[in-house]
Chain A
Amino acid sequence: MTEFILNGNPAKLDAPAEMPLLWALRDVANLTGTKFGCGLAQCGACTVHVDGNPTRACITPLGSVAGKRVTTIEGLGAGSAEHAVQRAWQELNVPQCGYCQAGQLMSAAALLARNPAPADADIDAAMAGNLCRCGTYVRIRAAIHRAAQLARETAAGG
């Protein structure tokens, strides 16, 4: 049994501590938004936030998140306001098949949290671990710049 905060709510998952967080989320908690692509920290599809840090859930044992805050795509921008990356992604119609996009969004959101105005090189570095087989990279880059702008506008407006 592992206890942690999942998308803002206390959660208890009855699964072996060694089970990767990815499978605990998908098969035990039934949160299927976080995706499997490689199981080896090579593709980024499984990216979640653990205490705000972008983390590959496929190589993170469930037991290691005990007491921590885990945010998945379902918990990003949940509630009243969508996250700036979610707004920008829709504005620029980024997804093709969409399968990689949960991971892309989680990596992008973590980047913007540390660096509200990333340059192209910052984006290259932060997104290096996220593959997109459909080739949406050019739009991802543009959407991160756009999200940064949207976040600034929201901050200025509110």
Chain B
Amino acid sequence: MDGSRRDFLRLSLLGGGAMLLGIALPAAQAQTAAPPAPPPDPNLYVRIDPDNRITITTPRSEMGQGVRTSLAMLVAEELEADWRQVQVATLGLDARAGDQGTGGSNSVAGLYEPLRRIGASLRELLIAAAAARWQVPAGECAARDSVVTHARSQRSARYADLIEAAAKLTPNPAPALKPRAQWRLLGKPQTGKDCADIVHGRAGYGLDVRRPGQLYAQIERPRRFGARVASFDAQAALAVPGVKQVFALEPGPGNIAGGVAVVATSTWAAAQGRAKLAVQWNEQDAGSDDSAALAKAALTALDAEPAEAVNKVGDPDAVLAAAARVIRADYQLPFLAHATLEPQNATAQWSGDHLTVWAPTQFPGLAARGIAKALDIKPEQITLHITLLGGGFGRRINGDYAVEAALVARQAGAPVQVMWTREDDLRHDFYRPLAAHRFEACLDADGWPQALRHRQAGTPIGATYDRTGQRTFGAEEIEGAGNGFYRAPNRSSGYTALAARVPRGWWRAVHTTHASFAMECFIDELAAAAGKDALAYRLALIDTIPVPAPGQDSDYAFNPARMRACLRRAAELAGWGKPLPKGQALGLACAIDHRSYAALVLQVSLQERELRIHRATCVADCGLVINPDGARAQIEGGIVQGLSAALGEAVTLKDGAVVEGNFHQYRLLRLAQAPLHIDVQFIESDAVKLTGLGEPALPLAAPALANALHALTGKRLRELPLRWS
């Protein structure tokens, strides 16, 4: 593919009269070497078949956040496509599409303008083609439901019958977009385009890939991070019926752990063979991380001056030293696993020197770079198809499973699916870092913070990917705590990085999953110390952020009014300050995450120490909402996943290895523990830039719950997962 193409629209005839429309949007700005720029505008394909069915191919991975629906809606709205006849597909790795990474709640936000422009310019072409055919002014023609009509002469033509003529016209790179008042699809709830396939078991995930002659592989990876294969019993494994090959893999590019691969005719045969391997490990370079020791080290580090001073306003140290009373609290959070319900996997097939990979991946470009490096091949030798993802949450940003599949398939000389068991998946994740936060504050005579000092210690994500030791990670790691939006004339934040071998990664909402817990619990503690209502206290203190907020450029400056509006509305809907049924209490939290604003109120009770969450009320502001039903689902899912982490999840490291192997040890929230009701409302405005919704609700669940439990019991819980009794 010619990556430098600047043509905007390109049409080509396919067999059977179908038309394929290739659209290459000019890159928003020249690519710079480092740091990686946000994804440039993508390519996208619209295919119109002779039966007038339209297939919209979306350049982002579907992992449950609904992008195949919401991105297709953006195109279909402007295209005036018949939504019922629209099918969706996922674009495989395509050099013209820029970095196709899916993450950071950025898919709809980043593609909102470009995808609508694509739909609009195609609509203009189709109308122009019809107008020319009928020799009438284009302005007299209208498009609707994949048909162009000319009312005055009562003529109409289906898109499929116009596209050949349209292909000869010059597209308009700056078409007029429909005003919001004329939207038919956007802003109206739409059922997911994959929903029908899912409920009939037809949706295709990574593990559902089936190639002729496909073999199935499992890999016995080292229990201790950094260990290497010393020896193994290939004969015993090969003696298992169905086992074809057994060989060692080195750890290497793409962050693969290495181990011993067993290739067989079925998943089960591979598992049986694997059980016979008796691998001996060389543990010379293995890590010896211990999560309890790391948690302790993090707490101890909070007593010292932070290794990295991240920000400072005024002189908090002096003010605190002179204060009559200092309020201080430490918050502790463990490592977390992503635990996507579909474990990691990929399928690879070689033909000659060309490799085809099918992978449930969020970042196909990263996976391909890892493959190219590990196998010493060129990017153009790789075709990468993206299947549906059985959950992502940031785990599938790393492409280690795809690299493994490519290596195993090359050695096996056949198409191979590499499947991870649940134990593999929980023990070889890229974990949400362990973190400890300390807040110290003193209040003035009216109860408002005079000084707010934040210290944080933990195992930074960035150190997993940059081992030069040259970089500091504090500025990103303190996001949400060290740059909180509560007013304090004297404030500072500092970070101390702890060394650890365990791989770390981006876990849905990332830093705010621990930072917002600390910040939102502490502000509750300050309100209590000041003798003020937790809602009123927050509303009075929410202010512009006087220190740099990571990921916030001038287009997205923090707007305190939006934060206050979410908080006020959520509190009102939840009946804040009104009498509650006996034995119930409310807790609240609010935050900005990935540029979107959200506030959450939980209504809880404890019966026989058994927690019941009666209601969750969330109000979010992401500018405009494209698919209200999908957006609501993201909020619901974020709250439930946040509660899951608050109540049950923790990864334990002992002697450099993860202890938890399956769901009886790594405890995810179950249906009975979920809130009975979740109410979601959005505050919408087209006066601000649209932002994402995949993550912002999640970080609020733990602090809202801890605050509710405090209201109920008078006890402050400062460590996750929460333990009472």
Which chain A residues in 19-39 approach chain B with CB under 8 Å?
19-20, 23, 26-28, 30-39
Chosen A-B contacts, 9 in total, with CB atoms closer than 8 Å, are A36-B207, A86-B200, A93-B630, A98-B198, A99-B340, A123-B671, A131-B670, A133-B341, A137-B640
Does B664 contact A23, Cβ atoms closer than 8 Å? no
How far, in angstroms, from A128 to B630 measured CA to CA in the complex?
A: 25
Is the C-beta of B639 less than 8 angstroms from some C-beta in chain A? yes
The verdict on A16 contacting B671 (CB below 8 Å), with A38-B662, A135-B639, A138-B640 known, is: no
Instruction: Tell me the minimal C-beta distance from A100 to chain B in angstroms.
Output: 5
Which of B290-298, B387-395, B459-467, B490-498 is the interface stretch? B387-395
Docked-complex contact A42 and B664, CB < 8 angstroms: yes
The CB with the most chain B CB atoms within 10 A, among A23, A36, A89, A133, is that of A133
Known: A37-B341, A123-B671, A137-B671. A27 touches B194 (CB 8 A): no
Q: Does B343 contact A (CB under 8 A)?
A: yes
Q: How far is the CB of A92 from chain B (nearest CB, A)?
A: 9
Contacting A at CB under 8 A, from B332-384, are: 339-343
- Interface 1/0 per residue, A86-107 and B, CB below 8 Å: 1001100111111111100100
Q: Within 8 Å CB of B201, what residues of A?
A: 31-34, 72-74, 76, 102
Taking CB atoms, residues of chain B closer than 8 Å to A137 are 640, 669-671, 674
* Contact partners of A72 in chain B: CB under 8 A: 201
Q: Which residues of B contact A31 (CB under 8 A)?
A: 201
Q: In chain B between 647 and 685, which residues have their CB closer than 8 angstroms to a CB of chain A?
A: 662-664, 668-672, 674-678
A50 within 8 A of B: no
Residue of B nearest to A72 (CB): B201
Given contacts A42-B662, A86-B200, contact A20 B342 (CB under 8 A): no
Q: State A123–B673 Cα separation when bound (angstroms).
A: 12
For residue B40, CB closer than 8 A to chain A, the reply is: no
Whether B391 contacts A134 by the Cβ 8 Å rule is yes
Question: A98 and B194 in contact (CB under 8 A), knowing A26-B267, A42-B663, A43-B663?
Answer: yes
B339 near A95 (CB under 8 angstroms)?
Answer: no
B interface residue numbers (CB < 8 A to A): 62-66, 189, 191-192, 194-196, 198-205, 207-208, 210, 216, 241, 266-268, 339-343, 388-393, 419, 421-422, 629-630, 633, 636-641, 644, 662-664, 668-672, 674-678
> Which 8 pairs across A and B sit closest by C-beta, in order of nearness?
A33-B201, A135-B640, A97-B64, A99-B390, A73-B201, A96-B64, A98-B198, A137-B674
Residue of B nearest to A96 (CB): B64
Which residues of B lie under 8 Å from residue A95 when comparing CB positions?
Answer: 64, 192, 194-195, 198-199
The answer to whether A35 and B342 have CB atoms under 8 Å apart is yes
Q: Which of A26-83 contact B (CB under 8 A)?
A: 26-28, 30-40, 42-43, 45, 72-74, 76-77, 82
Does residue A140 face the partner (Cβ distance < 8 Å to B)?
Answer: yes
A127 B210 Cβ-Cβ under 8 A: no
- Scoring B65, B341, B392, B633 by chain A CB atoms within 10 A of each residue's CB, the highest score goes to B341
Question: Considering only CB atoms, which chain B residue lies closest to A99 in the complex?
Answer: B390
**Contact (A136, B637) CB under 8 Å given A36-B207, A40-B662, A99-B205:** yes
Q: Which residues of B contact A33 (CB under 8 A)?
A: 200-202
Question: What is the CA–CA distance of A95 and B198 in the complex, to the nearest angstrom?
Answer: 7
Report how many A-B pairs have Cβ atoms within 8 Å: 191
B425 smallest CB distance to A (angstroms) = 9
Whether the Cβ atoms of B341 and A138 lie closer than 8 Å is no
Distance from A96 Cβ to chain B, minimum over Cβ atoms (Å)? 3
In the complex, A115→B422 CA distance in Å?
A: 33
Whose C-beta in chain B lies nearest to the C-beta of A127?
Answer: B671
Q: How far is the CA of A30 from the CA of B267 in the complex (A)?
A: 12
Contact of B636 (CB < 8 Å), options: A20, A128, A136: A136
A120-B189 Cα distance, complex, nearest whole Å: 27
Q: Does A6 contact B (CB under 8 A)?
A: no
Q: Could you say which residues of chain B place their CB within 8 Å of the CB of A74? A: 200-202
The answer to whether A93 and B339 touch across the interface, beta carbons within 8 angstroms, is: no
Is the beta-carbon distance between B633 and A139 smaller than 8 angstroms? yes
CB-CB < 8 A to B198: which residues of A?
95, 98, 101-102
CB contacts (< 8 Å) of B199 on chain A: these are 73, 82, 85-86, 89-90, 95, 101, 105
A135 to B192 CA separation, bound complex (whole angstroms): 16
Contacts of A133 in B (CB 8 A): 339-341, 391, 393, 641, 668
Q: Which residue of A lies closest to B637 (CB)?
A: A135
Q: How far is the CA of A31 from the CA of B343 in the complex (A)?
A: 18
- What chain B residues lie within 8 Å of A73 (beta carbons)? 199-201
Most buried by B among A95, A99, A101, A131: A99
Known contacts being A96-B637, A135-B639, A136-B637, is A128 close to B64, with CB within 8 Å?
no
